[in-house]
């Protein structure tokens, strides 16, 4: 619940930081995950309307061309990199509330993980699309899905190359809810 915070409660949360009165005033009205006593809390979404919600996130795993060729040829010793990463992405989306402290557990209605080998990177481009019908969005689930899929690509292929880079994790699309649509690509 936002609002009615006092300077003492904010200083208790962030004891080593000094803020101007203007910043404290802004914090007092905008901190949605801090209760009136200054304690971390999950936002109450009980009064929000149910609606269809969808989010799309993307990430890339950059690697040497030789590593990409080994993945394409199915020559990675741990097995099918893309299949395992796809399953990891699905599992991560379903478990987002277990690892992101203030996320609400959601009943997801659809998860799609797409992994594409791209010589131009070179590397693997990952896209996650997540849907639900409920009171809060699925942006964190989509972001968690692409992150877990990217980490799995790294884990599967690290015996070939340890210099791979996971980069450009971002939300690219969101639909539904009070804040409406969002496009970032």
**126-161 confidence digits (pLDDT tens):** 999 999 999 988 999 999 999 999 999 999 999 999
- C-alpha to C-alpha distance for 96 and 104, rounded to whole angstroms: 9
What percent of the chain has a predicted confidence (pLDDT) above 70? 79
Highest mean pLDDT among 28-32, 47-51, 92-96 belongs to 92-96
Query: Which residues make beta-bridge pairs with 82?
Result: none
Which runs of consecutive H residues, i.e. helices, occur in the chain? 7-13, 21-30, 65-73, 81-94, 96-99, 139-157
User: Where in the chain are all domains bearing CATH 3.30.70.640?
Assistant: 51-183
- 155 catalytic per annotation: yes
- C-alpha to C-alpha distance for 174 and 59, rounded to whole angstroms: 16
Task: Answer yes or no: are the C-beta atoms of 160 and 76 closer than 8 Å.
Answer: yes
Q: How far is CA 34 from CA 14, 31, 45, in A?
A: 12, 6, 14
pLDDT tens-digit readout, 55-87: 999 999 999 999 999 999 999 999 999 999 999
| Residue showing tokens 């992405």 | 89
Q: Which CATH number fits domain 51-183: 3.30.360.10, 3.30.70.640, 3.40.50.360, 3.40.50.460?
A: 3.30.70.640
What 8-state DSSP symbol labels residue 124? E
Q: How far is CA 23 from CA 5, 26, 27, 143, in A?
A: 12, 5, 6, 29
The whole-number pLDDT of residue 28 equals 54
* Mean pLDDT of all residues in 17-46: 63
Q: Which of 184, 151, 182 is nearest to 170 (CA)?
A: 184
Could you say which of 47, 114, 155, 181 is catalytic?
155
Q: How confident is the model at residue 44 (pLDDT cuts 50, 70, 90)?
A: confident
What 8-state DSSP symbol labels residue 50? P
């Amino acid at each position: 619940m936002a609002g009615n915070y006092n300077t003492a409660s904010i200083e208790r949360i962030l004891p080593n930081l000094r803020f101007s009165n203007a910043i404290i005033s802004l914090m007092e009205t905008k901190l949605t995950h801090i209760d009136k006593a200054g304690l971390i809390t999950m936002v109450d979404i009980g009064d929000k309307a149910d609606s269809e919600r969808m989010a799309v996130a993307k990430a890339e795993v950059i690697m040497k061309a030789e590593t990409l060729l080994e993945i394409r040829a199915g020559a990675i010793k741990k097995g099918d990199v893309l299949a395992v990463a796809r399953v990891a992405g699905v599992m991560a989306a379903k478990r987002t509330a277990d690892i992101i402290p203030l996320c609400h557990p959601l009943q997801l209605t659809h998860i799609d993980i797409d992994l594409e080998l791209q010589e131009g990177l070179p590397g693997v481009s990952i896209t996650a699309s997540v849907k639900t019908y409920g009171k809060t969005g699925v942006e964190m689930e989509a972001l968690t899905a692409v992150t877990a899929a990217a980490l799995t690509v790294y884990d599967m292929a690290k015996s070939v190359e340890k210099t791979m880079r996971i980069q450009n994790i971002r939300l690219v699309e969101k639909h539904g809810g009070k804040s409406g649509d969002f496009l970032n690509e």
